[in-house]
Amino acid sequence: MDKRRISSTSASGSPKAVLFDAFGTLFDVHSVSLLAEQLYAGQGDALSRLWRDKQIEYTQLLTHEGGTHYQPFWAVTQAALRYAAAQLGLPLGETQERRLMNQYRALSAFPENREVLQALKAQGVVTGILSNGDPEMLAVAVRSAGLSTWLDHVISVDAVRRYKPHPEAYALGPKSTGMAARDILFVSGNSWDALGATWYGFNTLWVNRGDRPAEQIGPPPTRTGSSLRSVLTFFHSI
């Protein structure tokens, strides 16, 4: 599946840089459901999904407050887990919480990640992560997945204390790469993130792994694909 709209990149050539969201794009946030199911039989998937939903809700709430109440992504993730467990009526002792949070440090990477990153680097394309994750979380995740060699930048919104989709968060991409937004392809598995990046001025790819409906407000992403391999469709020489 590869749905397209007209973009500055398709008109003027391939992107000069590709920035990836991390959680839900390079790393499978629902891989924690396997451990959650071991701890809470029959509730693992529900816990994983509610945990993720609340995590995103908290980041947007904290950003809406102008950064005054900003908390690092690790703290947000922990708070979201506690909420999800309470909502589902699941006992969350110190041991369960520690195990689940440690699992979040080393989420499973999607299998095509390395192949795509290697192909981009072979063509001299600048690559990086632009994520809500705090620097320590991202460093551990990247190292655990063995992706360090293939990434030029690992950018955390912690630098501006604003979570995506705030424009200041996306502005870290051009600032870090030294490139204009129109020359950067931003890739996300989260539709709201792809929309925010499109509004900001990036060319965008929404990786719609679950065949979910598109957002019903705002413009569509530049392209939509079913896996990270759709990134390569932006490059005629790959």
Q: Percent of the chain beyond pLDDT 70?
A: 93
Whether residue 199 sits in one domain with residue 142: yes
Mean pLDDT over residues 166-187, rounded?
Answer: 97
CATH assignment of the domain containing 94:
1.10.150.240
* R_g (Cα) of the chain, nearest Å: 17
**Distance separating alpha carbons of residues 234 and 238, to the nearest angstrom:** 9
Whether residue 41 sits in one domain with residue 22: no
Whether residue 154 sits in one domain with residue 144: yes
pLDDT tens digit sequence for 69-91 = 899 999 999 999 999 999 999 99
Whether residue 213 sits in one domain with residue 141: yes
Looking at residue 237, its pLDDT comes to 67
Is it the case that residue 44 has pLDDT exceeding 50? yes
pTM over 0.75: yes
- Inter-residue contact 17 to 184 (CB < 8 Å): yes
Looking at residue 7, its pLDDT comes to 41
Tell me the CA end-to-end span of the chain in Å, nearest whole number. 18
Q: Which of 180, 210, 225, 192 is nearest to 13 (CA)?
A: 180
pLDDT tens digit sequence for 194-217 = 999 999 999 999 999 989 999 999
Whether residue 152 sits in one domain with residue 101: no
Is it the case that residue 155 has pLDDT exceeding 70? yes
Whether residue 216 sits in one domain with residue 193: yes
Q: Could you say which of 81, 105, 129 is where a domain stops?
A: 105
Whether residue 183 sits in one domain with residue 65: no
Q: Which of 2, 21, 53, 152 is catalytic?
A: 21
CATH assignment of the domain containing 151:
3.40.50.1000
Total tally of structural domains belonging to the chain:
2
Whether residue 94 sits in one domain with residue 44: yes
Q: Please say if 2 is a catalytic residue.
A: no
Whether residue 75 sits in one domain with residue 129: no
Domain that holds residue 36: 29-105
Whether residue 45 sits in one domain with residue 77: yes
Instruction: Say if residue 174 is preceded by a cis peptide, omega within 30 of 0.
Output: no
For residue 68, name the pLDDT band (cuts at 50, 70, 90).
confident
Whether residue 118 sits in one domain with residue 92: no
Q: Could you say which of 71, 89, 105 is where a domain stops?
A: 105
Q: Could you say which of 105, 138, 167 is where a domain stops?
A: 105
Is it the case that residue 4 has pLDDT exceeding 50? no
Mean pLDDT over residues 100-125, rounded?
Answer: 94
Whether residue 187 sits in one domain with residue 153: yes
